[in-house]
Structure 1
């Protein structure tokens, strides 16, 4: 007999949990007002130090933030509020569904193989967002 399980997605991670009756359910409205990828220009502007002029993600000394290995300035911007670059992304964009997709793709999980360039993350984010929000 197999155990009934489901995946619980919370914050930036996922956990396999045994299936049981929920005692409470919390719902959060997530804005979907961004209609252009120009919102991500602060990340793609080489003057901000996240990517090089060719779009390659710039590395940094490794630290662990919230259980994630941060070895480049992109993940630093996504995770570390103490970073000097964190504030190039406004809080209003951080709340948007499209940004949450981007963040999920960039951070991945335990078996994630990171990209060296930012463009695959942006292209996949756009594709998923267009498919999910119509």
Structure 2
């Protein structure tokens, strides 16, 4: 069954209606409700099923590995960071690709139309540096 990576990740991050009981000021419930747990069970494990996994094109050629996922301020997984080239992380070229461009085919992460050269030709992704607090 073919599905998009974005769909699998969205299922893992859906927030359902609040629990059936009222919250009291100064208190908050921890954990998940029974309904939320059902969604969690059906979701994708980023650690086990996505991070570090190879990315292939539709010809089954490996074009890189998933090295990170970027979560937007609205709590949606927006981009996958793909590492291309290099050996054991040395000389690797990281690029950001919208998760909507990926497909899941069984256990494989597929980026249709990609080649190693095309991925390496994309602008390199760099994490923003946090400014140090003023003293």
TM-score (norm 1): 0.26
Greater relative contact order (CA < 8 Å, ≥ 6 in sequence): 2
Larger-Rg structure:
2
